[in-house]
Structure formats: C-alpha cells, structure tokens
Amino acid sequence: MNLGIENEYQEFKAGLGQLDKGLKSLAAMLNKHGQAAVYFGVDDNGDVCGLSIGKDTLMDIRNRIRDTIDPRIYADIQEQTDDSGKKYIKVT
C-alpha cells in the first residue's frame, strides 16, 4: 500500500528509531501550517514497510510527545493496518 508522497503536511519514517526526528518534523509542520501527519512504518517513497507494535508502543509515543514538544500538543496516535496486514502508526 502506498500513502502518497512526503510534503509540507506529511512525513514518513520507516521505524521508531526515527521517533525523535519524526516528532521534530511534527512540531515544525504544526508551527508552520497548523496541521501535520507523521507516519511510522512507512518508507520515504510512501510504501508501508510495517512495524512491530507492542502493547505499550502508542503510550510510549504519547509520553515522548509530552516530554519533548512545548507548548504541549494533544496528538492523535493511531495504529493502522494496510491491506496486506502490515501495521504502521499515524501521528496527527
């Protein structure tokens, strides 16, 4: 499944090892445009490569957002699954 292209409103990160970079991009897009979406488990071409998502993964992301972005934002963090069963995370 392909989610399109990166642009000023959305960015793709292949894994959660890029969480800090993704959150920095999220904050920058929100500051500039007031809207943003960062996808984890999606490569630079927009193809879902998938993630292993544990029971605490979404809460860990929420906590990292709370601890690193000021002023505080209230992000929507969703686990999603593509048509082939690959899981990815959308943060808006």
Q: Please state the domain count of the chain.
A: 1
**Dihedral sign, CA of 36, 13, 72, 54?**
positive
Tell me: pLDDT of 33 over 90: no
CATH number at residue 58: 3.30.950.30
pLDDT at residue number 40: 98
Residue 58 domain flag: yes
1, part of any domain: no
Q: Please report whether residue 39 resides in a domain.
A: yes
Q: Which domain holds residue 37?
A: 10-91
Query: What confidence score (pLDDT) does residue 5 get?
Result: 96
Residue 3 included in any domain: no
Mean pLDDT of the region 61-86: 96
Note the pTM of the prediction, 2 decimals: 0.94
pLDDT band at 84 (very low <50, low <70, confident <90, very high): very high
46 part of a folded domain: yes
Per-residue pLDDT averaged across 7-20, rounded? 97
Mean pLDDT along residues 37-61: 97
